[in-house]
Structure 1
Amino acid sequence: MKHHVRSDKKTFMGIKANATVSLASIFIISILVTATLIKGQSMEDWFKLTQVNVSNSVGWFFILLVNFVFIYTIYLGISKFGKIKIGGVNAKADFSKGSWFAMLFSAGMGIGLLFWSVGEPISHFNNNPFISNTENPAKAAELAVSLSLMHWGFHAWSLYAFVGLALAFFTFNLKLPLTIRSIFHPIFGNKIYGLLGDIIDVIAVIATLFGLASSLGFGVQQINSGLTYLFEIPSTTTIQIVLITIITGFATLSLILGLDKGIRFLSEVSLKLAFVLLVIVIAIGPTVFLLKAFVQNIGFYLFNFFEMGFWTNSYEGVGEKNSWQNQWTIFYWAWWVSWSPFVGIFIARISKGRTIREFVFGVIIVPTLLTFFWFSIFGGSALYQELLGNHIVSEAVNKDFSTAIYYLLEQYPLTKLTSVLTIILVTLFFVTSSDSGSFVVDMLTSGGKHDAPKSQKVFWASMEGLIAGVLLMGGGLAAIQTATVLSGLPFALLIIVMCYSLYKAVNDYYKKYYIFKNEDKKEAIEV
């Protein structure tokens, strides 16, 4: 299947780039950054009010969308289309499955797991809309972990899998540029190379940059908290800006080294160190309790999957603000949507040679199980202390969310070792997230070019650090969460159209390139 493919690359800043996408993205970002810096405290109030209003109005839409995408993506994996190989029947994988999973995990969740895996279950234990921990502590603890698993599980990874699959298919099978606009080719044809395509890619760039800035903002807060805990270095916005600058520099270096020598290498190192930390916590913590809890958490989550996934607080919230759901579920769904172009493009780039079935279930199931295990171990360790009557982790969460993991590690032996390892891990995940994000933005702003010039890589890596720093200065956590919700909403609308476009393209491809070898078994082979 061939398409008429035009180049939409133009010279910008002396390099091959799409000038419209680059300039429009820079213009929009500059307005938001400047307004945040000028307004200061009043901007923080605006961020909080905006998040509440937007979440109350469209929260139901995010909930419906992520559930639909999950069901839709699973369908693609189990359907007749599952045998289609990304890149064609003779395509070979560029990376081993081990390297593939490592890069998936590091780009998709990295920093977030360390920041949220202790604090979130504790927060849900102390405050959730379903049950009080004073009425039934055991049930509240079980629910707390399951709510965390819902936020970090199949829904999140199905968004990544859907966008990544669409991009991989259009790029490697239909030979279109590796940009979001390519997914709309079955609907708009070669109009995607004009203004319409530029608008689509600008939305993707903005969503990627602000979604990534959210993660980097959380990560640098946790690094600073670790340095405060270990070395009494003040936890201030100024220190965090300095840390962002330094670590963004390392991320830029990794990006310049390339996908294989930089991102792949750091992803594998990060995953190995994460495994070491995980094993240490299991060994020094309440081992049997944690393993039993993991099994129980999976069962509770799966049994209540659809009830929790479709819950909108509609009846309980009559006449009330949905504060808990806005701050948690709606924020997460918007965050994953805003991250989906970034993680999707990155996953697509590293997934040539996988069948659609292998891609779907590899992206959704393996990282999700690793995430479940991580939350069960770290969140379970914190909840174990709570159930024993030791509330030090809860106090840390209430005071400074980013310190939770350090106060948890303090309750067990080898505190210094595990705390230092945590700081190193957060830093490495920071670097891999930043360079992966820059890698993606480079492709979006260069018309799908897989290896953008070094000057362009440095520019976008610096821009990511700048956005994260400004959001921290202009409103902290509220600014980060609001920017995520606002940037995720327009891309969520694009996802709806992408679902139809991908199905149309895959179905046409299957009809043209596959035949039925056995009419009874309906076994498809590519010809």
Structure 2
Amino acid sequence: MNPRVFWGASIIVALMLSSTVIAPGASDQIFSAAQSWAIDTFGWFYVASVAAFVVVVLVLGFGPAGRLRLGPDDSEPDFPYMSWLAMLFAAGMGIGLMYFGVAEPVQHYISPPEAEPGTILAAREAMAITFHHYGIHAWAIYALVGLSLAYFSYRRGLPLTLRSGLHPILGKRIHGPMGDAIDIFAVCGTVFGVSTSLGFGVSQMTAGLAYNYGLADTISLQVGVIVVVMGAATLSVLSGADRGVRRLSELNLTLAVLLMLFVMLWGPTLFLLNALVQNFGLYLDHFIQRTFTLYAYEPRAWMADWTLFYWAWWIAWSPFVGMFIARISRGRTIREFVVGVLFVPAGFTFLWMTVFGNTAIALDLGAAHGAIAKAVDANLSTALFKFLAYLPGAGFTSALAITLVAVFFITSADSGALVIDTLASGGADETPRWQRVYWCLLLGVTATLLLLAGGLGALQTATLLAALPFCIIMLLLAVGLVRQTTADLEGVAISEDAPAVTERLKRLFVPASKSDITRQIADNGMPALETVRDAMLEEGWAESDVQRQEDGAAVLTIRFGPERVFRYHLTPRSRPLAAYTALEASESRRSHGWIMSGGSEGQQRKRDLTGLSTEQITHDILLHLEGWRPVAP
């Protein structure tokens, strides 16, 4: 546990929850006014920032940095590709797709920003807008946070927390109060964001039960649903990401595909296939235009109610989704990560929105005679079930939809609890079970109290208000990520004490002697080896020792067992210097200099650590230890 983050976030959550429960009306008014001010004043900032996020993620993914791996160079992904994609889908927009799959396209159809309502042009514009809100831009926000977390944790050896992404900018200050404040902010945002989304899920589940089975949609039913579902989420979170969350996500994806295929086959199949292609074409055609659209010359409230609201919502959710994506993405290359996170879920979302949105609009124009539009206008929670009533087997498909919302509910809750626990424990992978249960219960209690007090809207607006400062943090994460990946491609470590350009040139033209390297090993290398040794001995993980050899080399030995011994060597090594003339290039006249070579035993390529600090050498040792695999006897 990181006590400052754990208790600081818990206290802030309690204070925010108390204010919204005691005075939900006043809180709603205050937060709504503040949110409206933020969106009206900084709408341009949201739009420009999201455009920048898209550009940064695409450049990192398809540029030279794309080959870098989220972990040691020889690491492998923790999860199979399909399981990984299933978890991305479940954590990213699961409940949102169920809740808004029918509702949003129909809302834009009956109230578009530019076209005549209820027309063919309105239907076409509705799908283009829906694609824009759920497409590349949304996933680029998630991808940036997830990529920063995964890169700095798995490749640079820093804790799996948001503060680590600011290391190239803040340096060692990320370990102080400033870093704690960033993580507390992320924990609170995740608690409130997940809780409000769970409120949407509960509302849709109970509305479905009332619509299909005649149960009274009361607070008692909503609380009962929360208790049952959060109990299942607690069992899942105790199993960890590799068992509970993975299995539920795979089940989720299977159920979602079955429901979507049913609607597609029983609906206007050929029309949907044509619509999918045309919708995607419109999305591409208007991609740049909609990216920067603010209606500056013809101001309208629609922009604040929809696009800016969505950008703020995705940014507010990004600590949760980004952290979860990072936790399941170790071992993948940046290019794999960008393709998987940016395009695959967005592609599935486009298909989902086309199947449900276009079918709903087609039915509303035909058999429903406007009834689906009226249902959407009256109560968004019942829109999906009203839509399914116009297809065969409505009882079965409605039950499947309720089950799907419930599983989405569970996956959102358990993945949210795992993410919060990671942030509050300083990035630890394994934490006491009571901590994971604590955060899972807190999410359930928060959602329950807000439903009872009617404060869900107040907390939702407060969460969206927090997106403004976090947008600034995300821009800093982008800067830090670009700087670090560029430095890694050049073979340079970024830190406040990294060798300056003049020092690197001096090593090139005034090579170090063996005595210089021996002194560096003694001054910087030995303390790094001893730091790792002392940490291993203090925790009792393995027998460890450090030895200095006669030739000036030093070796760290960690014994995990008779046949499992890790050794890391720091060695003075001679190597040829750069030749600037043909005469210098001949072996008989080639000049040689000395470097400090570092690497683990069995690794073919040793790294030049000359001029690096004790902290940087320590990071290199930990990276080698992370990627180490014992050789079979």
TM exceeding 0.5: yes
Alignment of 1:395-406 (within 5 A): 395-406=374-385
Residues 86 and 172 of structure 1 are in contact (CA less than 8 Å); yes or no, is this contact kept in structure 2?
yes
Q: Is residue 369 of structure 1 aligned with residue 347 of structure 2? A: yes
SS in 2 for 1:109: helix
Which residue number corresponds to residue 520 of structure 2? none
Alignment of 1:379-398 (within 5 A): 379-388=357-366, 390-398=369-377
In 2, Cα distance between equivalents of 1:480 and 1:222: 19
Residues 31 and 465 of structure 2 are in contact (CA less than 8 Å); yes or no, is this contact kept in structure 1?
no
Which residue number corresponds to residue 46 of structure 2? 62
C-alpha change, 1:442 and 1:255, in structure 2 (3 Å) is: same
Which residue number corresponds to residue 45 of structure 1? 29
The match for 1:423 among 395, 402, 409 is: 402
Amino acid in the other structure paired with 1:349? R
Which residue number corresponds to residue 12 of structure 1? none
Q: Which has the higher contact order (CA 8 A, sep 6+)?
A: 1
Q: Is residue 490 of structure 1 aligned with residue 462 of structure 2? A: no
Deviations 1:210-244 (CA, angstroms, capped at 9, x unpaired): 22122211111110111111111222344323322
Residues 20 and 459 of structure 2 are in contact (CA less than 8 Å); yes or no, is this contact kept in structure 1?
no
In 1, Cα distance between equivalents of 2:606 and 2:96: 40
Deviations 1:24-55 (CA, angstroms, capped at 9, x unpaired): 11121111111111113333333433332222
Which residue number corresponds to residue 454 of structure 1? 433
The match for 2:217 among 202, 227, 235 is: 235
CA displacement at 1:526 relative to structure 2: 11
The match for 2:229 among 218, 230, 247 is: 247
Instruction: Structure 2: give runs of 5+ residues left out of the alignment.
Output: 494-604, 608-633
CA displacement at 1:313 relative to structure 2: 2.3
Q: Is residue 27 of structure 1 aligned with residue 5 of structure 2? A: no
Residues 210 and 487 of structure 1 are in contact (CA less than 8 Å); yes or no, is this contact kept in structure 2?
no
Alignment of 1:223-372 (within 5 A): 223-317=205-299, 322-372=300-350
In 2, Cα distance between equivalents of 1:71 and 1:245: 43
In 2, Cα distance between equivalents of 1:121 and 1:237: 29
Query: TM-score scaled by structure 2?
Result: 0.76
Which residue number corresponds to residue 530 of structure 2? none
SS in 2 for 1:497: helix
Which residue number corresponds to residue 146 of structure 1? 128
Deviations 1:240-277 (CA, angstroms, capped at 9, x unpaired): 23322221121111000111220000000000011110
Amino acid in the other structure paired with 1:225? A
Q: Is residue 436 of structure 1 aligned with residue 415 of structure 2? A: yes
C-alpha change, 1:239 and 1:51, in structure 2 (3 Å) is: farther
Q: Is residue 194 of structure 1 aligned with residue 176 of structure 2? A: yes
SS in 2 for 1:413: coil
In 2, Cα distance between equivalents of 1:199 and 1:42: 27
In 2, Cα distance between equivalents of 1:358 and 1:272: 23
Residues 36 and 470 of structure 1 are in contact (CA less than 8 Å); yes or no, is this contact kept in structure 2?
no
Q: Is residue 89 of structure 1 aligned with residue 67 of structure 2? A: no
Greater percentage in helix: 1
Residues 9 and 187 of structure 2 are in contact (CA less than 8 Å); yes or no, is this contact kept in structure 1?
yes
In 2, Cα distance between equivalents of 1:128 and 1:51: 23
Amino acid in the other structure paired with 2:85? F
The match for 2:192 among 206, 210, 213 is: 210
Amino acid in the other structure paired with 2:322? G
SS in 2 for 1:278: helix
Query: TM-score scaled by structure 1?
Result: 0.91
Residues 513 and 526 of structure 1 are in contact (CA less than 8 Å); yes or no, is this contact kept in structure 2?
no
In 1, Cα distance between equivalents of 2:22 and 2:302: 30
Deviations 1:435-460 (CA, angstroms, capped at 9, x unpaired): 11110100000000112211111111
Task: Compare 200-209 and 504-513 and name the one that shifted more.
Answer: 504-513
* Identity percentage of aligned residues: 42
In 1, Cα distance between equivalents of 2:474 and 2:452: 32
Amino acid in the other structure paired with 2:381? S
CA displacement at 1:67 relative to structure 2: 1.2
Q: Note the aligned Cα RMSD (angstroms).
A: 1.8
In 2, Cα distance between equivalents of 1:42 and 1:194: 36
Which residue number corresponds to residue 222 of structure 1? 204
SS in 1 for 2:427: coil
The match for 2:163 among 164, 168, 181 is: 181
In 1, Cα distance between equivalents of 2:350 and 2:12: 37
In 2, Cα distance between equivalents of 1:230 and 1:526: 66
